[in-house]
Amino acid sequence: MEKTNISTIDEYIGSFSSPLRELLEQIRDHIRRLVPEAKETISYGMPTFKTTENLVHFAAYDHHIGFYPTPSGIQAFQEEINRYRWAKGSVQFPLTEPMPFDLIERMVTYRVNEARAKFAAKKKNSK
């Protein structure tokens, strides 16, 4: 399946073979459990979870999973992600190591709380 034609997370995950497909499903399940109200979509060609704003994106590559919790999510966990390759808004989790689901969950929770606070502040300021 050509990734440019993908419009759902199911299609995205289904375009990979095992065991990568199962790993992507596990990441998705962890996020769903934490944010059941989030809308699942494809944004920037990647699985994306969104509430009042994009919370996190993730994507599979040849040698790693790219996880995109926005620059604030990276900054908040700087000490913990230093062992990985990272950039302003992303971190790379190597496929040769166990997936750090605990860290992913904490990053997602951070982003949910951040988005809720932004939304509440915006709502308060619009009154």
Q: What is the pLDDT of residues 45-72, one digit of tens each?
A: 999 999 999 999 999 999 999 999 999 9
> What one-character-per-residue DSSP string does 52-119 give?
SSEEEEEEE-SSEEEEE-HHHHHHHTHHHHTTSEEETTEEEEETTS---HHHHHHHHHHHHHHHHHHH
21 vs 122, which has greater pLDDT? 21
Q: Which domain holds residue 38?
A: 3-125
CA distance 57 to 34: 15
**Domains identified in the chain, total number:** 1
DSSP label at residue 38: P
CA distance 116 to 112: 6
Q: What is the CATH number of the domain that holds 35?
A: 3.90.1150.200
pTM for the predicted model, two decimal places: 0.92
What amino acid is encoded at 54 in this protein? N
- For 87, phi then psi, to 5°, come to -140, -170
Tokens of 71: 């620059």
CA R_g for the chain? 15
126 confidence band (pLDDT: 50, 70, 90): confident
